[in-house]
Amino acid sequence: MMDWTDRHCRYLHRLLSRHALLYTEMVTSPALVRGGALHLLDFSPQEHPVALQLGGSDPQELAQAARLGAQAGYDEINLNVGCPSDRVQSGTFGAVLMKDPALVADCVAAMRAAVDVEVTVKCRIGVDDQIPEQVLPDFLNRVSAAGCERFSIHARKAWLQGLSPKENRDIPPLDYDLVLRMRKEFPALHLSVNGGITSLAQAKAFLDAGLDGVMIGRAAYHQPADILCAADAEIFGDGPVTDPIVVARQMLPYIEAHLIAGGKLAQVTRHMLGLFAGRPGARQWRRVLSEGAHLPGAGPDLVEQALSHIGPLADPARAV
């Protein structure tokens, strides 16, 4: 979720759900270790539990980056072996590493030796002409032998040649059954499924089928209230269904502090555009924020103005 799940997005999502594990956008180990871009590790204490997602392929450099993440206070360090973008391939990390499970194992071993927090892996079921039924179990075997006990599996192949990153999110067919078979083949591992999941009902079905977790990306970003407002109550069994109107107002002090620190309103509100997706007034909410957040002097009052367009819930009893 590069350029999406930044610290402002995660702060919003944490207000919607107290229990969902949040992930950073992918941060490359060269940027941290060689580039000194430690600002990429900034996050609010309120975001916990939160995982740092790293991209890289040099074991020692990843170990240093993981150490920096642990020192910054992240609860988990996740190695991305799933991103298919050209930029990622040119750096020899992301989904291209599915072709070299031995290197991924070396990376995991080095990272685990460097930090006390858990090291996890996000992967694909395979890439290009690989046969997922052969590649995925071999990958899980090798990487788990290096000490990784938790995997989030994007249930699509990645085609590294001929498809764009966007096409790689839609065109290769999803193979949820393969991920479910891995649950039976590797009972000691913590396995989560990712890819194409658009509702809490779908997530619950996977949990009921025996998977340990469900990772939701685009749907949680574009319709955050649909995914996160009821997650604590329906998935974790702890907490009420949150009201996105209340959450929008809870963002106002955060926005004010961000503006005082020299930030721009649009840096925060761009992540709030989908907060009322499918609800009466959602289009006006988006229009007010999209047109006004970039203007000089824009501040929390604009959010209140946008909120004035939001109609009531179809079922008011669902939000407290």
Tens-digit pLDDT profile for residues 60-101 = 999 999 999 999 999 999 999 998 876 655 667 889 999 999
Cα 293 from Cα 269, distance rounded (Å):
7
Q: Note the pTM of the prediction, 2 decimals.
A: 0.92
Residue 145: its pLDDT value, please?
98
Catalytic site residue from 83, 107, 148, 229: 83
Residue 202: its pLDDT value, please?
97
Residue 5: its pLDDT value, please?
94
Closest to 153 measured CA to CA, from 115, 112, 181: 181
Residue 255: its pLDDT value, please?
98
Ranges of residues in the chain with a pLDDT under 50 are: 315-320
Active site residue 9: no
